[in-house]
């Protein structure tokens, strides 16, 4: 068994969350400065097949066999060992640390899954393709999110900005110019599964108006892709703003998110919107670099609990 450390980034959704669950395109990018880290190391002296899981961020320090079957770390570990066909192994320890806020739309669950899958595969010297890593992480997401589109595991695995349509191979985006984002955390945790279930209930009640909103979000995302590839940053602002309005209409925004979005716009952002499942979690603002400091300050004054800066690099 090979001791190793694997990393995986968080992510932001730039365009298309929720509509992506219903087959429309979405655009997401990795947050490479916010990482989940998984270290695997053999434990001398313990009985074979004993696995110790140490994840202080979520208060877990336990033997695998003592965790409930429904625990995401247990599910992921068992899934990977099964996939690798490994059933005899020495005792080992899995240590998990993550700088990605939990349940806030930044892909923390997918990042831990991806780093854990890669770590276990590396420990048994059976590296997996990105496609395989992503599909195993998707299996875990399905257990936790009910009906995920697959965008989180995809962008976290490939670590590139992607244009994503459910069920298709992701297309890597090549931005013509760098895009500066500020991410503002409301500090309100919000499980994605609940937000996704809420949209589903409202879509079932009013399919016509929801389908029209999903269609418009799909159009916005396609226009945004063109603007990103052509380096037309000024066109992205109004598209972000309109996407946010549609998400508000779909009742996945919140007063805290709206306050941060409004503050960023007033302080000079090109545009701003909630990002991810919504109802809490994080918002993003696309900002001219020279206004970055003022916008960050405005977000703090409007109640942001944490601020992250991210540049989507040009290609």
Task: Give the interface with ligand PMV as residue ranges (CB under 6 A).
Answer: 13, 17-18, 20-21, 105, 107, 145, 148-149, 151-152, 192, 196, 276-277
Q: Closest distance between ligand PMV and the C-beta of residue 275, in Å?
A: 7
User: Tokens for 299?
Assistant: 């977000």
Residue 224 to residue 233: CA distance in whole angstroms: 9
CA angle 157, 288, 9 (to 5 degrees): 15
Q: Closest distance between ligand PMV and the C-beta of residue 27, in Å?
A: 12
Our CB check for ligand PMV shows the closer of 30 and 148 to be 148
Residue 10 to residue 134: CA distance in whole angstroms: 14
Our CB check for ligand PMV shows the closer of 30 and 107 to be 107
Q: Closest distance between ligand PMV and the C-beta of residue 257, in Å?
A: 12
Residue 257 to residue 170: CA distance in whole angstroms: 29
Tell me the three state secondary structure of residue 91.
Answer: coil
User: Tokens for 241?
Assistant: 């703003």
Residue 169 dihedral angles phi and psi, to the nearest 5°? -65, 140
Q: In sequence order, which residues have a C-beta less than 8 Å from that of residue 132 and are 6 or more positions away?
A: 83
Q: Which strands, in side-by-side order, build the sheet including 306-312? A: 271-275, 282-286, 179-185, 306-312
34 within 8 A of 44, measured Cβ to Cβ: no
Our CB check for ligand PMV shows the closer of 145 and 244 to be 145
Our CB check for ligand PMV shows the closer of 145 and 160 to be 145
Tell me the three state secondary structure of residue 194.
Answer: helix
Our CB check for ligand PMV shows the closer of 119 and 280 to be 280
Active site residues: 152
CB neighbour class for 100 (10 Å; exposed up to 12, middle 13-18, buried from 19): buried
Q: Closest distance between ligand PMV and the C-beta of residue 32, in Å?
A: 16
Our CB check for ligand PMV shows the closer of 95 and 245 to be 245
Residue with tokens 């996704």: 196
Q: Closest distance between ligand PMV and the C-beta of residue 24, in Å?
A: 10
Q: Closest distance between ligand PMV and the C-beta of residue 267, in Å?
A: 25
Residue 314 to residue 119: CA distance in whole angstroms: 30
Position closest to ligand PMV via CB: 276
Q: Which of 262, 125, 275, 279 is nearest to 198 (CA)?
A: 279
């Amino acid at each position: 068994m090979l001791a190793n450390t694997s990393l995986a980034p968080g992510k932001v959704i730039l365009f298309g969350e929720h509509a992506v669950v219903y087959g429309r395109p979405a655009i997401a990018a990795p947050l490479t400065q916010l990482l989940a880290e998984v270290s695997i190391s053999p434990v001398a002296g313990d009985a074979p097949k004993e696995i110790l899981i140490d994840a202080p961020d979520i208060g877990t320090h336990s033997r695998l066999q003592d965790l409930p079957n429904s625990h995401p770390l247990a599910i992921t570990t068992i899934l990977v060992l099964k996939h690798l066909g490994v059933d005899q192994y020495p005792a080992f320890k899995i240590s998990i640390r993550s700088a990605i806020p939990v349940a806030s739309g930044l892909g923390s669950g997918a990042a831990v899954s991806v780093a854990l899958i890669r770590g276990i595969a590396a420990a048994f010297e059976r590296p997996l393709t990105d496609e395989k890593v992503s599909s195993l992480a998707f299996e875990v997401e399905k257990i936790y999110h009910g009906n995920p589109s697959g965008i989180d595991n995809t962008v976290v695995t490939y670590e590139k900005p992607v244009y994503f349509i459910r069920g298709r191979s992701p297309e890597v985006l090549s931005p013509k110019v760098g895009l500066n984002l500020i991410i503002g955390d409301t500090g309100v945790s919000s499980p994605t599964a609940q937000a996704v279930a809420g949209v589903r209930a409202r879509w079932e009640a009013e399919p016509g108006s929801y389908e029209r909103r999903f269609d418009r979000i799909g159009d916005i995302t396609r226009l945004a892709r063109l603007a990103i590839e052509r380096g037309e940053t000024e066109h992205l602002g109004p598209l972000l703003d309109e996407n946010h309005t549609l998400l508000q209409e779909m009742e996945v925004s919140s007063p805290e998110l709206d306050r941060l979005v409004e503050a960023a716009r007033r302080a000079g952002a090109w545009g701003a919107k909630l990002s991810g499942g919504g109802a809490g979690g994080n918002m993003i603002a696309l900002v001219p670099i020279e206004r970055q400091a003022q916008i960050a300050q405005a977000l703090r004054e409007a109640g942001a609990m944490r601020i992250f800066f991210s540049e989507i690099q040009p290609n």
